[in-house]
Amino acid sequence: MRRLKRDCKPIQSRLWRGFTLVELVLIIVLVGLLSAIALPRFFNRTDYDSVSFVDQTKTALRFAQKTAIAHRRDVWVQIDQASGYICLTYVAVDANCTIAAGTSVNAVSDPVDGKWYRRQAPTGVAFGASLNARFTALGRMIPTTNQVITITGGIGGTINIDAETGYVR
């Protein structure tokens, strides 16, 4: 009998273990502070917008190159720093690129909706400089120097275009 009581005692003490009310309140306060102060720094909307816009711009440049090769004609890329637009056209300069409701007879069509292939930078994100360049029917970039497109705001980023091959990275 004595031995049985000794074996039962550790089982009973294990059943009574747990967190005190003070410990639970302390954890709730710490989680609340982290969610109010620290976590928003990791989830900044402008950072996501800038990364997304860098990807959209790369896609537009690659689409311009592929369209130039497929249609066997030059495709121009207009980047306007002031308005934040990137437009694809079949002519060197299209004044309607920077107009929100603008249309163009020389526009490269977006394969998704058939409208003009152009994108505007989201709020807080911008191009570092304007650019007016073209992809030839062979996929090369003119001017014949490597191009660097900088996107500012949020995390931002740079896009490099190799002039000889037209490779966008």
Q: Are residues 89 and 76 in the same domain?
A: yes
* Residue range 28-75, pLDDT digits in tens: 999 998 888 877 777 778 888 999 999 999 999 999 999 999 999 999
pLDDT tens, position by position, 12-29: 555 667 889 999 999 999
Q: Is residue 168 part of a domain?
A: no
Q: For residue 169, is it within any domain? A: no
Q: What pLDDT shows up at residue 139?
A: 95
Do 31 and 107 share a domain, yes or no?
Answer: no
Judgement on whether residues 54 and 20 belong to the same structural domain of the protein: no
Percent with pLDDT over 70 in the chain: 90
User: What is the span of the domain harbouring residue 79?
Assistant: 45-161
In this prediction, residue 10 has a pLDDT band, given cuts at 50, 70 and 90, of: low
Q: Are both 146 and 93 inside the same structural domain?
A: yes
Answer yes or no: are the C-beta atoms of 147 and 129 closer than 8 Å: no
CA dihedral sign, ordered 64, 65, 68, 71: negative
Q: How many residues does the chain have?
A: 169
Residue 106 and residue 91 in one domain: yes
- Spatial neighbors of 72 by CB under 8 A, at least 6 apart, are 137
| Mean pLDDT lowest among 58-62, 98-102, 115-119, 144-148 | 98-102
Q: Report the mean per-residue pLDDT for the chain.
A: 89
Does residue 102 sit within a domain?
A: yes
77 plus 124 within the same structural domain: yes
CA distance 105 to 111: 16
Provide the pLDDT confidence category of residue 125 given band limits of 50, 70 and 90.
very high
Amino acid at the residue 83: S
CB 87 within 8 A of CB 116: yes
| 166 is a domain residue | no
- Other Cβ atoms less than 10 A from the Cβ of 94: the count is 22
Give domain status of residue 120, yes or no.
yes
State the total domains in the chain.
2
167 in a structural domain: no
Residue whose structure tokens are 């928003």: 40
